[in-house]
Amino acid sequence: MAVMKDFTRESLLHCPVHGYIPFTSKVPEGETSERALLDNPWLQRLRQIHQLQTAWWVYPSAEHTRFQHVVGAMHMASRAVDALYPSLCEACRDDLPSRGYVEVLVRMAALLHDVGHGPFGHFFDAHYLKPHYGLNHETLGAHILTHVLGDCLRGVRECPNSRLREDESLDPQQVATLIMRPKSHDADQHPRWLVLLRSLFCGLYTVDNLDFVLRDAYMSGYSARAYDLDRLLRYSFFSDRGLTIHQKGINALLKFVQTKSELFRAVYFHRTVRAIDKTLEGLFRDSRELLFPGNPLEHLEAYLGFTEWSLLID
């Protein structure tokens, strides 16, 4: 007799870009579900930070947030692992974790890669975090997920498609490694499989930009079909040289790069967007001490509540 699927184990989030996005919502006692992380205040604050910084003032329909983007990036992570895990096995052979570990690791890194963002995203990096404290959202996010969310991450043992082996436990430091920009000559400090997976977060096409190019193009009205995601992933694989694409996927890659370039020209660097950025630059410079009490690493509780809503409304 067939056993009915447990439909309470996972939930669905409907996205206008990707369709239904599954995530775990019911897990064994003592474990952490993906729903628990989605409901965590550090993830929920991303609902109050726009994905397009100031471009939403110019493109009224582009009101989407960092929260919507990281959920989409998590979905892209599973799509990427589906396509790439067999070639990862071929490229590494020895010392490779289970497919479940790799997928959960990449999903969590994708979900949390923007957790360190402040109001106006990269603008806040450039005009507050970096000049005054030598930080960016990646280093801040890595600190948050290892020091604040570490216990939650260690409890994540499954995603909708797969599960860790009994002898495996998710390492928050490896999640942090994926979201951090690689330093020169640090590859020998990590397992080869982890170095290869880093290319999914820092490279020509990543789980991050695979989502935001589609999402930003759709939400701004630039294009409902920005590039051919299915073909791009179908012809991607890991080799001795890292993330590689077969010649049959070159046209899909070129279309992706072209669309991304056009978004920078028409949306991200629109002349009015740049004018708004220049105005904000002056406001940030003249009121720095009033914006935030100091180094966010030393004031994490205050940073948790520091969003565009708190800045513009409260």
Q: What does the pLDDT look like over 73-92, one tens digit per residue?
A: 999 999 999 999 999 999 98
User: What does the pLDDT read at residue 1?
Assistant: 54
**Is the model's pLDDT at 94 over the cut of 80?**
no
User: What does the pLDDT read at residue 268?
Assistant: 94
Number of structural domains (the chain) is 1
Q: Which amino acid is residue 136, in one-letter code?
A: N
Q: Any idea what DSSP says for residue 183?
A: P
Residue 181 within any structural domain of the chain: yes
Q: Any idea what DSSP says for residue 267?
A: I
For 272-285, give the DSSP string.
Answer: HHHHHHHHHHHHHH
Residue 61 structural domain? 17-312
pLDDT band at 4 (very low <50, low <70, confident <90, very high): low
Q: Which amino acid is residue 50, in one-letter code?
A: H
Q: What does the pLDDT look like over 274-309, one tens digit per residue?
A: 999 999 888 887 777 778 888 999 999 999 999 999
User: What does the pLDDT read at residue 47?
Assistant: 98
User: What does the pLDDT read at residue 312?
Assistant: 80
Residue 175 within any structural domain of the chain: yes
pTM over 0.75: yes
User: What does the pLDDT read at residue 314?
Assistant: 65
**Is the model's pLDDT at 117 over the cut of 70?**
yes
Residue 35 within any structural domain of the chain: yes
Residue the block writes with tokens 């929260």: 67
> Measured between alpha carbons, how far is 282 from 127 in angstroms, rounded to an integer?
10
Q: What does the pLDDT look like over 193-224, one tens digit per residue?
A: 999 999 999 999 999 999 999 999 999 998 77
Tell me the CATH number at 254. Answer: 1.10.3210.10
Which residue in 161, 159, 180 sits closest to 170, CA to CA?
159
Residue 2 within any structural domain of the chain: no
Residues 110-123 have a mean pLDDT of 96
